[in-house]
Amino acid sequence: MLYTDINPDNLLIGTTTTWAVDWSWPTRGAGFIDPACLVVQLIAAGQSALSAESWVSHCTAWAKADPTAIGTFAGATARMYRTFAERKPDAAWLGAMAAAARKWASHRGVLV
């Protein structure tokens, strides 16, 4: 089961517990996808792609994933956010996510 809606408003961090709220997009899929969604958020928050990937590198599903599959997902994510940003040019957050996803895809060697 994947969460797939990782964003700052949906993760509540307490002193000893963290909660993922707003389970509106539960999905089945490859285990590396949730860490990949976190990578894009970290890049949008100012991390480099390399640094963002280092944050998820200890996740077993990420470490065992086929690098080609991660690259393919990075490219698809960049194209998805680009399309969303084009449809809603006044939504600054979509532009920021499109830029972050494009940086990640570029880091992965994927042309978008």
pLDDT in tens, 35-66: 999 999 999 999 999 999 999 999 999 999 99
Q: Distance (Å, rounded) from C-alpha 27 to C-alpha 55?
A: 23
Q: Domain limits of the chain?
A: 32-107
DSSP 41-91: HHHHTT--HHHHHHHHTT-HHHHHS-HHHHHHHHHHHHHHHHHHHHH-TT-
- pTM for the structure as a whole: 0.88
Confidence at residue 23, expressed as pLDDT on a 0 to 100 scale: 75
Tell me which residue of 50, 56, 54, 52 sits closest to 42, measured CA to CA: 52
Q: What is the pLDDT of residue 7?
A: 79
pLDDT of 2 reads: 86
Which pLDDT does position 40 carry in this prediction?
Answer: 97
* Cα–Cα dist 11/78, whole Å: 22
Which pLDDT score, from 0 to 100, does residue 32 have? 97
Q: What is the pLDDT of residue 10?
A: 82
List per-block mean pLDDT (blocks of 10 residues) for the chain, which spans 112 residues.
Answer: 81 88 85 96 96 96 97 98 98 97 97 88
- Count CB atoms within 10 A of the CB of residue 10: 15
